[in-house]
Structure 1
Amino acid sequence: MSLADQAHFTGNSCEETEMNHYDSTVKPGRMNRATRSSRLIMAGIMALGLGLTAACGSAGNALSSSDSGSTSGYPVTIRNAYGSVTLKSKPTRISTVGWTTYDAVLSLGVIPVDMPKMSDGDAQNGMYSWTSAKLKELGGTGSKAPKLHDESDSIDTEAIASSNPDLIVATQSGITKQQYQTLSKIAPTLAYPKEAWATPWRDVVTIAAKALNMQNKGKQVLANDEAAIKKAVDAKPNIKGKTAAVMYFDTTKLSTVSVYTTLDTRPEFLNDLGLKTPASVKKISASTKSFYKDISSENVDELNDVDIIVTYGDSSTLKTLQADPLIGKIPAVKRGSVVVIDTNSALESAIAPSSLSIPATVDQYVGLLSKAADTI
């Protein structure tokens, strides 16, 4: 299943999802499928135990030899949802798990030895356009390119172990405690600080920078991203102060509306762009610990305070919503104040931002929001 489906809901309850292993590339919005066979997990551990001490990737994947084994600035301890990790020296072989973490590492100028294969949005050869561009800039192509592991079903720990990492960064992921323990047997693992799939994009960069003792570089990356955001927003002042929410509509069954909560990075990014979280979304968010909540279409009047709706779909989506006798009553839908993100476009992934996707796509996103604001 492509990551385009990650913006969609399968109908599983949150309780059911928590009982399953996370699919580590599952963006909040798609419920998770069952984990891969435990034999694969054990294979990764056994491979490690059989002596994966030599570098399995090209030397070009690791940090430069001058950085290798550096103890300046170490030890450093980083806490996460499952405990803490103490690094005694600078990691030189980084593997990433989940979503946007690879971009954070790359933005620091470090080429991972291993990272997940992407298949949604504008991904080609397993990478988004901005990720590929950064790798090319850093010389991470050909034999120096990262290995890509599969996360479409579960975490391919065997592939991760074969890359012989000395740090696994999973700060924006949905790994379970069991998966965390498994990965930690391969290399020290940084899970998310608090909630699965809820690490703000700035924190993803900051945590990676701390682990690599590159805090100044991390600050520079964030400053560049902030500048790109400011430039885009300054060019479209009509969006400032408007209320906006991210939702998912199953256009084949419009009996419910799925509203992304403030735990999710998509609504958070709207705040970065100068838009406000509607009171209705704040209320919905306070009633759940999940990244989304379903609202019956009979109660869509709760969403009357939303100026702009961001959703996923295609050229027919808005007309379908407007034709529905209940969904069509939502003021934003009725007047067409809806940004429909094409599931085959770069924005499909970028509206949940990374340090690299922001400068690549923020102008386009703000432009679409501005067009929606013109209808208010």
Structure 2
Amino acid sequence: MAGINGFLRAAAMLALVWVPAAAGAQDAQYPIVIKHALGTTVIEEKPERVATVAWANHEVPLALGVVPVGIAAAGFGDPDGDGLLPWVEARLKELGAEVPALFDEGDGIDFEAVAATEPDVILAAYSGLSRADYETLSMIAPVVAYPDSPWATDWRAMIRANATGMGMAAEGEALIDRLDARIGEVAGGHPELAGKAAMFITHLDASDLSVLRFYSDNDTRVKFFADLGLTSPQSVRDATAAGQYAGEVSAELIDRFDDVDIFVTYGDENLRQRLLSDPLALQMPAIAKGALVMLGNDAVGTGANPTPLSIPWVLDDYVALLADAARKGE
């Protein structure tokens, strides 16, 4: 989202969902018991110092007016390389807060850095924590892990789990309601999306289109399609292994995906032209019709994986790209 007008529009949309910094948590009953895929976490009293690990978990406390003591630094989609995505930086400024400690997770979780922040709770509802990661973090503070599977927690479940871990379950539900209202408003303005089947391809190499790697119905990017009125193609569901958030098929089988209306992937104009000129790729009707959404290393590309603060920031632009592709596919 480029230019001052885009920034102001994004800031205005964020104001619709943020909770004022002064908003306090409603009374929670302690101890709070949270069951998740890696066990059960008990939080004996209201956490005062909140740390987060992995992707985007820090957006829940920030959206609820709480500044974490430490967060994972953004490893991609960060335009200026300061470790903060634009909507996170904007929210910190709105709260008048200093940047929290940034954990470098390029080689995995930095347990020493997390411990140094002395947290009362560690939020990781959207993550890929291993059993060893969870047990090590649990020696530092109670950990809110993913409810079901690694990297499969949708944005609503992430808000619910992390907000509950903060003793702010009611505030989390209110945030979900506000985001749902905004999504419904924007998606409702694009009826051409209703019922269209979208496939989300992972990163493609323009020089090698021999394998199609895709996100499954278990991934948050694909789950977000349903919020926008889109459906998941049966061909994608058939090609997905049980419980997996991603899969892959040989491009020689690309004609099986003839029920795909919109093809979404990360890439530039070079990749678009490569797809449109490849005889094998053109066997997928969505590609042949040019019903392509090419996402870059920018706010919209990053925000296609929906999170509490990115949704209002990129929603209008992302839906517009999908709607344009839907029209081309008709």
Q: Does the TM-score normalized on the shorter chain lie above 0.5? A: yes
For 1:116, which of 69, 72, 87 is the aligned residue?
Answer: 72
Q: 1:283, CA displacement in angstroms? A: 1.3
Query: Does residue 356 of structure 1 match 2:309?
Result: yes
Contact 2:155 2:307 in 1 (8 A): yes
Q: 1:371, CA displacement in angstroms? A: 0.6
Q: Deviations over 1:22-52 (max 9, x none)?
A: xxxxxxxxxxxxxxxxxxxxxxxxxxxxxxx
Match of 1:99 in 2: 55
Separation of aligned partners in 2, 1:288 and 1:216: 33
Separation of aligned partners in 2, 1:135 and 1:217: 19
Structure 2 residues not aligned, in runs of 5+: 1-20
Size of the aligned set, in residue pairs, is 306
Separation of aligned partners in 1, 2:33 and 2:173: 19
Aligned AA (1:102) = H
For 1:306, which of 253, 260, 274 is the aligned residue?
Answer: 260
Separation of aligned partners in 1, 2:185 and 2:86: 21
Contact 1:168 1:190 in 2 (8 A): yes
Separation of aligned partners in 1, 2:123 and 2:294: 32
Query: Does residue 255 of structure 1 match 2:210?
Result: yes
Distance 1:88 1:311, change over 3 A: same
For 1:278, which of 233, 246, 260 is the aligned residue?
Answer: 233
Q: Deviations over 1:58-94 (max 9, x none)?
A: xxxxx99x98xx9851111001111101111001111
Aligned AA (1:299) = L
Separation of aligned partners in 2, 1:80 and 1:72: 19
Query: Does residue 82 of structure 1 match 2:43?
Result: no
Query: Does residue 139 of structure 1 match 2:139?
Result: no
Query: Does residue 375 of structure 1 match 2:328?
Result: yes
Match of 1:169 in 2: 123
Aligned AA (2:152) = A
Contact 1:172 1:198 in 2 (8 A): yes
Q: 1:152, CA displacement in angstroms? A: 0.9
Normalization by structure 2: what TM-score? 0.89
Match of 2:282 in 1: 328
Aligned AA (1:338) = L
For 1:342, which of 296, 299, 310 is the aligned residue?
Answer: 296
Aligned AA (1:134) = R
CA RMSD of aligned residues (A): 1.7
Q: Secondary structure at the match of 2:114?
A: helix
Distance 1:271 1:372, change over 3 A: same
Contact 2:28 2:168 in 1 (8 A): no
Separation of aligned partners in 2, 1:292 and 1:83: 24
Poorly superposed stretches of 4+, deviation over 6 Å: none
Separation of aligned partners in 2, 1:169 and 1:217: 16
For 1:318, which of 272, 286, 310 is the aligned residue?
Answer: 272
Q: 1:348, CA displacement in angstroms? A: 2.0
The 5 Å alignment of 1:90-239 reads 90-124=46-80, 125-141=82-98, 145-239=99-193
Q: Secondary structure at the match of 1:374?
A: helix
Q: Deviations over 1:282-315 (max 9, x none)?
A: 2122x34322111111110111100001100012
Distance 1:217 1:123, change over 3 A: farther
Contact 1:318 1:333 in 2 (8 A): no
Contact 1:258 1:295 in 2 (8 A): yes
